[in-house]
Amino acid sequence: MANIFSGSEIVELGIQIEKNGRDFYNQLVKQTKNDKARGIFAFLVGEEEKHIEVFKNILKTVENYEPAESYPGEYFAYMNALAGGYVFTQKEKGLETARAIKSDKEAVEKGIGFEKDSIIFYEGMKRAVPQNDIKVVELLIKQEEGHLLKLTELKNML
């Protein structure tokens, strides 16, 4: 991948984030002994699978899209900075992160952090997709916000 991302590369990062999220929550389903946590983690696995498909559909429409910028490369440099610090844009990080977790509380706290990071990334992504895909990304953000609420409730219960 180049130093500065294209619109399609940003959407591909979204796909990678969702794959890592799926792998992360799937591993947590196997690790937890708490039935309530297992149910929420399993629900989130399914949600991440749906998001992967949504991003694959968006990918078809962003091939040559260029967002409005103040200066050439501004937007993609910003997204590069965001993605560079986000561990879930790296392959295999979801599974690796989940395997290192020692407790349900730690798992939930990590999940909360990942959901927050995803929301920030997807807010930025809205500028990398054509107008007709913005509503789809906004819907994904709403769903991520719902995941954040579920995890926060679970954290308060543990």
CA pair distance 14, 49, nearest whole angstrom: 12
For each of the domains in the chain, give its residue range(s) and CATH number, in order of start. Answer: 7-157 (1.20.1260.10)
DSSP calls for 11-39:
HHHHHHHHHHHHHHHHHHHHH---HHHHH
Q: Please tell me the pTM assigned to this model.
A: 0.84
Return the structure tokens found at 135. Answer: 């509503």
Q: What is the pLDDT along the chain (158 residues), one digit of tens a residue?
A: 334 456 777 788 889 999 999 999 999 999 999 999 999 999 999 999 999 999 898 888 776 656 666 666 676 677 777 777 676 878 888 999 999 999 999 999 999 999 999 999 889 888 777 788 888 889 889 999 999 999 999 999 99
